[in-house]
Structure 1
Amino acid sequence: MPLTPLDIHNKEFSRRLRGYDEDQVNEFLDQIIKDYEAIIRENKELQNQVAASQDKLGHFSNIEETLSKTIIVAQEAADELRGNAKKEAQLIVKEAEKNADRIINDALSKSRKVALEVEELKKQATIYRARFRALIETQMELLTQDGWDSLDNREPRGIEA
């Protein structure tokens, strides 16, 4: 067990002949007591500072560990978010491609339908023109027949002069 200032203060030495000067020894012991007390106080303060530093170190270690875990979680969340965004973008692109294909197919179908209708209308126009020409030619034949000339020379019936 280490010495305390009280142990030093209460220490008594036996007396001998031709021993040390008692006043000098007492003064020296008083100085030792003062220095020893100062060292003990300083040691206590340093121990308190070490304990406080260890507490702070523990606190900062906990903060560091928490921050590390938080960073890892944030990185994982960012990676997951990036992956989800990529998947969603791919789905959007596929959906857009499907819509584009559908629109193109609809347009092609309508274009074919219109082309068929145009062809049908051309055929009907050709038939109509042929029939109209035949009608006109028939009417022209009627007009050019000899029977019309005889009608022009006859007198009107029922009107007598």
Structure 2
Amino acid sequence: MKREDITNKKFSTVYRGLDEQAVRQHLTEIADALDKKDARIAQLEEMLNEREENLNSFKSVESSIQEAILSASKAGDEIKQRAQNYGDSIIQKAETEGEQIISRARQRENHMMEHNEDLKRQAKIFRARYKMLIQAQLDLLETEDWERLLEFDGDDSEK
């Protein structure tokens, strides 16, 4: 119902009926009250629409933030996985190099031990030969030929 309908309403008059002026005054007050309520309803609907727009805006921002968080989480997971893979490859490379170093050291140790054993054998052979040489020289010194040689020189000088 509109204000005009309320204020322009016609009533039939009867004997001892209502005071038309008082009825009109009351209808005007009702119409004013309805106008105020309609204005308040329009204001509240406008506020509700603004709030819904704000809510939709916040939902859009929330959605964007959630997408950004998801994207950052995925990027973080990818970086973490790459770092893990890189770390694993470094560890694998270090283990391989360590095994190679140990292998080379063992080979060098074996070579040095063989060389050491060879030197010991050569030292034993040298010692045995040197001992034989000295023994031969001692034997030579103890032979009678040596004494004869010394006598031979003595006899020549007397003659």
With the length of structure 2 as denominator, give the TM-score of the two structures: 0.83
1:51-70 equivalence runs, <5 A: 51-70=49-68
Q: Distance in 2 between matches of 1:25 and 1:33?
A: 12
Structure 2 residue runs without a partner (length 5+): none
Q: Distance in 1 between matches of 2:140 and 2:125?
A: 22
Q: Which of 109, 112, 132 does residue 111 from structure 1 map onto?
A: 109
The two structures, once aligned, show a CA RMSD in angstroms of 2.4
Q: Which of 137, 140, 143 does residue 139 from structure 1 map onto?
A: 137
- 1 or 2 for the larger relative contact order (CA 8 Å, sep ≥6)? 1
Q: Distance in 2 between matches of 1:48 and 1:41?
A: 10
Q: Which of 124, 127, 148 does residue 126 from structure 1 map onto?
A: 124
Q: Distance in 2 between matches of 1:113 and 1:141?
A: 41
Structure 1 stretch displaced more, 13-22 or 47-56: 13-22
Question: Which residue matches 1:90?
Answer: 88
Residue 106 of structure 1: CA displacement? 0.6
Q: Distance in 2 between matches of 1:96 and 1:15?
A: 109
Cα distance change, pair 49–152 in 1 and its aligned pair in 2 (3 A): farther
Question: Which residue matches 2:10?
Answer: 13
Residue 120 of structure 1: CA displacement? 1.5
1:13-52 equivalence runs, <5 A: 13=10, 16-18=13-15, 19-52=17-50
Q: Distance in 1 between matches of 2:4 and 2:155?
A: 173
Structure 1 stretch displaced more, 131-140 or 86-95: 86-95
1:67-86 equivalence runs, <5 A: 67-86=65-84
Cα deviation, 1:135-160, whole Å, max 9, x if unaligned, reads 101110111112333416964866x7
